[in-house]
Structure 1
Amino acid sequence: MNHVPEAGWVAYLADEIPETLKIEYENHLYSCDKCLSAYMEAMEKEEASLDMEGMDIAGPVMNSINRLKGESGEEATQKRKEKSLRTIARHYLIAAGFTILLMAGGVFQTLTEYVDSVESSSAVETQSVTDGLIEKTFNWMDSIEKKNKEGFRNE
C-alpha cells in the first residue's frame, strides 16, 4: 500500500470512508512512520477545528430549547434576569429579617457582653514575659541592697 495522503486521514477521522479502507489504513499505520505522523497532524488539525467550532455550544442549545418552548432568545434572557433579581431580593429580605430578629432578641447585646468579659479577664490574668522578668530583677536587686544595708549595720 502506498502512503495515505493527509486528506485520506481527514476522511478517516470524519468517518467518511468504508470499513474495509479503514482497516487498511489502520494496518498501514503500524508499519509506516510517515503516515503515522500525517495521521497525528490530521488529528491535531481536526481537534483545533473542533475547538473553534465548539467554543459557544451553550448559546445554540439554549436557543433551541427556547424555540421549543415558543419563546424568543431575548424573552428568555429577560425572564432569567427578572427571576435572578427576584431571588437576590428575596435573599436580602430574609437576611434583613433574621438580623432584625436577632437584634430584637438581644443576641448581639449578649454576645458583646460576653466578649467584653473575656477581654477584661484575659487582660488581668496575662502579663508579658518581659514585664515579669523586669519585675523579678528589680525585686532581686532590692533584696540584695537590703542585705547589704543590714550587713553594714551589724558590723
Structure 2
Amino acid sequence: MKHMTRDALLAYINAESNQETEVENHLLECETCTDLYLSIVEEVEMNSGVSADFTDDTLQQLEIRLPAPPQKKQNHVFIHYLVAAGLTILLTITGVFQGALDVSDIQQKKGGSITDHLMTKTDNVLQEIKGVHRHE
C-alpha cells in the first residue's frame, strides 16, 4: 500500500486537494497515514493560535452590535421600586396589615398554627372579594 505524503495531507487539511474522497478512503484503511494526518492537524492548530488583538476586536464588535440599554428604561424600574416601597410604608402606617396577622388571637385560641390562621384569613378575604365582584 502506498502511503500519503505530508504535502498531500496538508493540502487536504487546507481544503486545497481535489482528491478528497481518495484521501478519506485511504485514511480509513491506513493507520500510519491517519497518525501522520492527526499530527499535522495538531501542528496546524497550534500554529494558528488566536491573535493578540482577538479580545479587543471581539469586544469592539460586541459594542457595535449591542448598544447600551437606554437610560430611560432603568429609571422606570427604579421608580417602580420607589412606588412599591412607598405603598408598603403607607399601608403599614394606616394599619391595613394590622388585621391580617393578629398573633395574640392565635395564642388565645391555643389551637392551630399561625399558618392555618393565615390561610383561613386569606381564604376569607378572597371569598369577600369574589362576593363583591359578583354583586357588581
TM-score normalized by the length of structure 1: 0.44
Structure showing greater Rg: 1
* Greater percentage in helix: 1
TM-score normalized by the length of structure 2: 0.48
